[in-house]
Structure 1
């Protein structure tokens, strides 16, 4: 039996309610008797001397809600205990040679399923940092599938930095998925120029595509090669702009301050115009500099003017 009444049960219950809350099974058609029995089993019909009467559905909702919360608590406890239960298997797995082979080897893996499996293992094993350069559109299904593992990585203290192209955030469902990660500490920047796809785990293993359709990937562990790829990532990261303003809208006061700055007003003039203290305006401008990747107020004003003229 499902947690909620099905369409037939709902229809029969409503029919009983319209009849004054009373129902006599002998008046039912044979086809309705299984539905009647289901309503009795759920506690939505109660026996009386004159037949059956409808019960308050709130009681059913409360009971099922309690059962579901209890079930969810058990599942969460099981999820917490699972890594400990699998610890002996994990130790045995770590004791043998890794799939990437000896340090310095380049290992090629074919097939999207096997590639995703190996990347999933690297995320689970990651202890410090994930770097990702992701050009082009991001499949929403892939983001949803990876969400739980990405959030687990962030919650255990690892950092995650990703570079996207601006068009990636044009899709609001993709924006929502990315925002779920940034709220847990992931950092995202946008770079409006070509760059290569790259994943780096703990600065020890790098993953690059080995086929145009991404059906083949190369896993690299040579320290010099990985360091070279990390340097390329850091160069792109430094040129990219923070994506915060695309993911979380700024406070209305911050928007007003930005508009006045874009018109050429000084910090003091903005404070006077809005009736705010200079310290308050400075705090809003600091947030704006972070959002726009600007080092100075002049740089920020220049970027804001360009944005308002687009």
Structure 2
């Protein structure tokens, strides 16, 4: 049986509703029997001495919603555990490619991603892999505008990085935080421990992972990048970053926190409450809750209410 009633079930249920909420045996055709059995199994029709009575569908919707959310949470937790499960295999793979004590050969020694990468998708993929494998810190100098959609897509991975104890330090320019939506995205990271500073003077774009791998652009449009592992080169880029970081100013005052009511609604959503339940708990209208949820969805880049609740669950575990 599927999660939702099919066309035949819907038609039979609506016929019962139009008949005053009752369905008699003589109202049924032989072809209606499978739909009748399914409606009874779902609890949408209740058997009586003279036939069947229609039950309210909201309880069914709530029950199915809970079951679907529970199923989705189980899958998402499995997805979060998967990197740790595959960790031993990944380490064995890395050790096989780069045996301990083997001589370094060329720029790729010690890092499968070293060298020039010319495909935009591959650049993003390798940076994502470096973030997933990072164990201590990420340093990022990001001049100019930051694509909002890119920040939203990277949010989950950045928060995971911070929650496992890694440091994330980023230098931006003032123009970056001029967009409120970008400020909100940056604030989501600083709320979890990321540090952000603003530097007015020009500087070069660079990413450094665990002070072992550095990434610099090889094209103005960021379609190509160079992955560097030479210790002297990486140390030089780290020194440049630290110099810029020391001259930059903290961005805390520019990152506006969400309103208190919005935070409270976020906490309740993180606990799995529906929009209606949140409105009842706080004693406000569903329209008010919907407005706050809309702001939260924009802030987190969440497409659905469930996705929003999942994004919020790491921040509000109380």
Q: TM-score range by the shorter chain?
A: 0.5 to 0.7
Q: How many residues of Structure 1 are paired with residues of Structure 2 in the alignment?
A: 252
SS in structure 1 of the partner of residue 141 of structure 2: strand
Q: Deviations over 1:177-207 (max 9, x none)?
A: 2222111111112223322211001111110
Matched, 1:102 2:109: yes
Matched, 1:125 2:126: no
SS in structure 1 of the partner of residue 47 of structure 2: strand
- Aligned with 1:169 (options 152, 177, 181): 177
Matched, 1:71 2:71: yes
| In 2: Cα distance, 1:33 partner to 1:212 partner | 67
| In 2: Cα distance, 1:226 partner to 1:44 partner | 66
Q: 1:231: Cα distance to partner? A: 1.8
Give the TM-score normalised by structure 2: 0.65
Residues 184 and 256, structure 2, Cα contact 8 Å, conserved in 1:
no
SS in structure 1 of the partner of residue 216 of structure 2: strand
SS in structure 1 of the partner of residue 226 of structure 2: strand
Compared CA separation, residues 250 and 10, structure 1 to 2 (3 A): closer
Worse-matched range after superposition: 241-250 or 137-146: 241-250
Compared CA separation, residues 6 and 139, structure 1 to 2 (3 A): farther
Aligned 1:111-260 pairs, distance under 5 A: 111-249=119-257
Q: Deviations over 1:204-234 (max 9, x none)?
A: 1110000112111001112222122112212
Name 2:54's counterpart in structure 1. 54
| In 1: Cα distance, 2:42 partner to 2:93 partner | 48
Compared CA separation, residues 114 and 249, structure 1 to 2 (3 A): closer
Q: 1:144: Cα distance to partner? A: 2.2
Structure 2 gaps, min length 5:
99-105, 260-318
Q: 1:79: Cα distance to partner? A: 3.4
SS in structure 1 of the partner of residue 52 of structure 2: strand
What is the Cα-based RMSD across aligned positions, in Å?
Answer: 3.7
> Rg larger in 1 or in 2?
1
| In 1: Cα distance, 2:203 partner to 2:29 partner | 70
| In 2: Cα distance, 1:113 partner to 1:127 partner | 24
| In 1: Cα distance, 2:35 partner to 2:200 partner | 61
